Structure 1
Amino acid sequence: MQRIRRILTGLSEAEWTDADRKQIARELLEAAGLEVYPESVSSGKGLLLAMTRDGNKRLLAIGSAERMRCSGLAGAEYRELPADGTKQMLALAARSHELSCFVREALPWTAPRVCGLDCSVGLGDRTGLATPGHIRAVRGSGCVPYLPQQSIREMTRTERSPANVMDDACWGVFQAGWREGFGSDADHLKTPQDIDNCLAVGFTMYTFDPGDHVRSEADNLSGSALAAALDSVPWKDLEISLNDYRRTYLDQPFALDGGQSLRFDEQTIARAAVKYGGAIAHAARMYRHLAQRSGQRPFEVEVSVDETLTPTTEAEHYLVAAELKRMGVGWVGLAPRFIGEFEKGIDYKGDLAAFEKSFAQHAAIARTLGPYKLSIHSGSDKFSVYPITARLADRRVHLKTAGTSYLEALRVVARCQPDLFRRILDFAFERFDEDKATYHISARKEVIPRPKDLSDAQLESVLEGNDGRQLLHVTFGSVLTRKQDDGTYLFRGELMDVLNTHEEDHYTVLASHLGRHVSPFASSLAQ
């Protein structure tokens, strides 16, 4: 108990080594029978803090030389730790929102921060158990991870709240001992209330999704129809008149970084105003609401126009960014809808040469009007475009992933509890036609093998084909929330038990698969 005694009597964590943490974990195992995650062993507010495991439950251990400093924890178990003739107190408490807030205050490295223009990757987690694996994927890469990341739509479909998402990720950071900093992304926010709900629990980046205000039909308007639509643009909300808008952009050269330039004709600026005018005004309202509500707390913003019916042209990108800038909106990332197909859970579909040419111009616009990062949404498994984006964006990229981590969790289920995977797959077939409605995918249910036709060893093959991946990808909400007649979850409890029991397998597959996403960007950082 030598190291525990020294810590509880004032040894600064700055003096600790990895060997100290491992020794403390061994001492806690010997003295209290606690299985401790060594990387989590920390000191804050004069207390010893560590994450422990009891079966499939994780408990916060709080050590102090004074019992009163550990008192007041609801449901906590208290143990005395003899050390050199003295008695020191250890409290064990189940994880809770209140304790998560306490740990973030005691250990600031367990709380998210703003990350600015650093190359980054968003790692959405639909189970709440993936963060240690995500950290392994980015460790040593130079890419900043955004660990709490979930859209309001995903929260609704998984029956989670912003607090759940934040707490689960921060507990994972604590467990893994990740002290290098991370961001958090309140993703695809559509209303001021969405902002308020996420601001209340400490999110640091807010992704505005004004897609409901985009008029994609503008691409095909001309003549009197275009003129009428142009008159209906909310010019008052945009704080500019149509005449001033024309004078600003019509038939003038706009130089881009790298020597290129853009020039806009009447039809281009008219269609862009009709298509994106309402979206720009909505994004400005959201930004001003966030700025007012955040007070002195730092925040950063991403603007997303990727979930639209048609690609964002280079001219539209320029006009959207220039107008947002004119209205005083500040942002670190912008997500256009790029050319080609960014379907969920599979690689890019499209002409890579055409994508490279288009992306180069988008990157030039981001350097000219920012700089800001280009954000790649639906970024999971787009392995063919990562080298292109890493090379052309001058390290200013934010790659956003989510569903692929859920699929890797199912890979662990297929390996470790094949009967459960079979039941989930059967259920996914039942739910697919309804659940796919809000997703941009091309999966063909009829070509995916049924569970009864597969041996246990063949189950993972469903996760190797595009059709099977998308079938399982879009049905995540139904799988995680469907309940039985008695009110218990049909799959969720069993799935979580498998991932907790086989946590090392879970972290290993995540590190391997997400590492493939990160490595092209890590290479670009090293150049």
Structure 2
Amino acid sequence: MSDDLKLPRFSVGVGDRFAHQAKAQLQACIMAADAGVEVVPVWNKSNREHMIIGSEPSATRLAADAAVKELGWTKPYFLDADHINLKTVQRFLDPCDFFTLDVADLIGQPAKPEDVTQFIHNHPELVGEVVIPKITEPFKTDKAFVEGVANKFLAAVKHAGEIYRLLVENKGVGRFVPEVSMDETDYPQTPVELLIILAMISDEKIPIQTIAPKFTGRFNKGVDYVGDVAQFTKEFNEDLAAIAYAVHTYGLPDNLKLSVHSGSDKFSIYKPMYEAVKATGAGLHLKTAGTTWLEEIIGLAEAGGTGLEIAKEVYSEAYAHQAELCGPYATVINIDHAALPSPETVNGWTSDQFTGALRHDQSNPAYNQSLRQLLHVGFKVAAKMGDRYLKALEANEAIVAKNVTTNLFDRHIKPVFLGL
């Protein structure tokens, strides 16, 4: 398999809800290059986010292209049609060159019996003792185990193949980067399950360059990892080994790498991630998604005046519409509603009090992760403000941009890609 458009070893998914922070985000990648590591930006914005905000993927492309031109970025960059399926892909076809194939709805749906039979027939190496180099203990499987994995994931992978072939028809072979997302399922995949999934993807002739598996623990939006760091570290290293083996065994692209979804702010697992990719030479794609939107609110609050008023108004409206805002994100947030301050309390806050509660600084006693998660899903409130919100961003561009760049470089790129 070959793919002309290649995703470099390190990449960072940068969400930009309102298409105003592309320059500030790119600046963090420039700082990474100056520090000696190439981390390329992948601007991502899902169909759901476009629907909420009333935007088009073409606007995300324009913002990215303008930032690249203005800052003189000569390295690769990409635009991700984030979590698309056959129903939503159409408007992403022209502007995007990275496609996250979302097959979550089909995970667990039984595949056709003849497809399962054929898969097992094609892969006798997956039945019995499976030895993955760099994993100490071999995995012992039998036909029933492989059948069970196929029944859980094969229909989803077949659907990913349909989406991929539609993309090839419209964009041509090698003109985009495909990712398959397997993270939206109940249980983490074991390394041998990941290997089986990669064999399925190879059979579908999808030249994936990134795969997003499910890991142990909770990856809640915008807050730190919740779970056993030692167990995550073991899984992460074993997944790297499974990918390396699959590349060798099934002819998948040699730059195939792990994609960590909802990867922003997972500070407690950044060191083991850095150490693993450094030791193995593996690549990594870190999706940071909505953390930029939170930095906009922090910047506005820090600016004071009208900016602080807007930040307080966003909180007040989000507080009043918690059920509506949190519903679509129920599996990736964990808000203690009793820990949320009342809007009346927040309306009396200074800039320092607001930013102290929202900024992800766990050493600050004012930090409130429930407030942070509520505001993370509260961008719909700002979308309804329309021009008033956008004009506030533009009026306070310098202070907002500083927060966006600092957050992306200092809290994400430095620990994950530079080990600092």
- TM-score between the two structures when normalised by the length of structure 1: 0.69
> Counterpart in 1 of 2:28?
137
> Counterpart in 2 of 1:414?
301
Structure 1 residues 443, 210: CA separation in 2 closer, same or farther (over 3 Å shift)? Answer: same
Structure 1 residues 421, 338: CA separation in 2 closer, same or farther (over 3 Å shift)? Answer: same
Larger RCO: 1 or 2 (CA < 8 Å, sep 6+): 2
> Deviations 1:464-498 (Å, cap 9, x if unpaired)?
3210111011121x21333xxxxxxxx23222112
How many angstroms apart in 2 are the aligned matches of 1:239 and 1:339?
27
Alpha-carbon offset, residue 199 of structure 1 = 2.0
> Counterpart in 1 of 2:251?
none
How many angstroms apart in 2 are the aligned matches of 1:256 and 1:172?
43
Q: Is the 8 A contact 1:115 1:183 kept in 2?
A: no
Alignment of 1:62-141 (within 5 A): 114-141=5-32
> Deviations 1:246-300 (Å, cap 9, x if unpaired)?
7452213233356653332344323211211211111111112222221266211
Structure 1 residues 260, 119: CA separation in 2 closer, same or farther (over 3 Å shift)? Answer: farther
> Counterpart in 2 of 1:171?
66
> Counterpart in 1 of 2:129?
252
Give the letter aligned to residue 284 of structure 1. Answer: G
Give the letter aligned to residue 391 of structure 1. Answer: E
Give the letter aligned to residue 399 of structure 2. Answer: D
- Residues 1:210 and 2:113 are matched in the alignment: no
> Counterpart in 1 of 2:162?
285
> Deviations 1:391-440 (Å, cap 9, x if unpaired)?
21334100001111000000012122222111111100112112211212
- Residues 1:469 and 2:372 are matched in the alignment: yes
- Residues 1:162 and 2:57 are matched in the alignment: yes
How many angstroms apart in 2 are the aligned matches of 1:198 and 1:239?
32
Alpha-carbon offset, residue 319 of structure 1 = 0.8
- Residues 1:182 and 2:77 are matched in the alignment: yes
- Greater strand share, 1 or 2? 1
How many angstroms apart in 1 are the aligned matches of 2:116 and 2:145?
20
Alpha-carbon offset, residue 506 of structure 1 = 1.4
How many angstroms apart in 2 are the aligned matches of 1:447 and 1:140?
37
Alpha-carbon offset, residue 384 of structure 1 = 1.2
> Counterpart in 2 of 1:234?
112
Alpha-carbon offset, residue 133 of structure 1 = 0.9
Equivalent position SS for 2:268: coil
- Residues 1:367 and 2:225 are matched in the alignment: no
Give the letter aligned to residue 139 of structure 2. Answer: L
Structure 1 residues 324, 136: CA separation in 2 closer, same or farther (over 3 Å shift)? Answer: same
Give the letter aligned to residue 444 of structure 1. Answer: D
- Residues 1:442 and 2:326 are matched in the alignment: no
> Deviations 1:61-86 (Å, cap 9, x if unpaired)?
xxxxxxxxxxxxxxxxxxxxxxxxxx
- Residues 1:398 and 2:296 are matched in the alignment: no
Equivalent position SS for 2:267: coil
Match for 1:341 among 198, 218, 222? 218
> Counterpart in 1 of 2:272?
388
> Counterpart in 2 of 1:262?
139
Q: Is the 8 A contact 1:445 1:471 kept in 2?
A: no
Equivalent position SS for 2:178: strand
How many angstroms apart in 1 are the aligned matches of 2:206 and 2:116?
13
Match for 1:481 among 370, 380, 383? 383
Alpha-carbon offset, residue 130 of structure 1 = 0.7
Alpha-carbon offset, residue 117 of structure 1 = 4.0
How many angstroms apart in 1 are the aligned matches of 2:173 and 2:181?
25
> Counterpart in 1 of 2:408?
514
Q: Is the 8 A contact 2:314 2:378 kept in 1?
A: no
Q: Which runs of 5+ in 2 are unaligned?
A: 248-253, 359-366
Structure 1 residues 242, 377: CA separation in 2 closer, same or farther (over 3 Å shift)? Answer: closer
Give the letter aligned to residue 412 of structure 1. Answer: G
Equivalent position SS for 2:99: strand
How many angstroms apart in 2 are the aligned matches of 1:153 and 1:380?
19
How many angstroms apart in 1 are the aligned matches of 2:301 and 2:324?
24
Alpha-carbon offset, residue 239 of structure 1 = 8.0
Alpha-carbon offset, residue 243 of structure 1 = 5.4
Alpha-carbon offset, residue 362 of structure 1 = 0.6
How many angstroms apart in 1 are the aligned matches of 2:350 and 2:166?
53
Structure 1 residues 358, 407: CA separation in 2 closer, same or farther (over 3 Å shift)? Answer: same
User: Greater shift after overlay, 347-356 or 453-462?
Assistant: 453-462
Q: Which runs of 5+ in 1 are unaligned?
A: 1-112, 217-231, 483-490
How many angstroms apart in 2 are the aligned matches of 1:503 and 1:268?
55
> Counterpart in 2 of 1:426?
316
> Counterpart in 1 of 2:392?
498
Structure 1 residues 279, 126: CA separation in 2 closer, same or farther (over 3 Å shift)? Answer: same
Equivalent position SS for 2:89: helix
Equivalent position SS for 1:179: coil
Q: Is the 8 A contact 1:151 1:186 kept in 2?
A: yes
> Deviations 1:356-411 (Å, cap 9, x if unpaired)?
11111011011111241100000110111112112213341000011110000000
Equivalent position SS for 2:286: strand
How many angstroms apart in 2 are the aligned matches of 1:426 and 1:408?
18
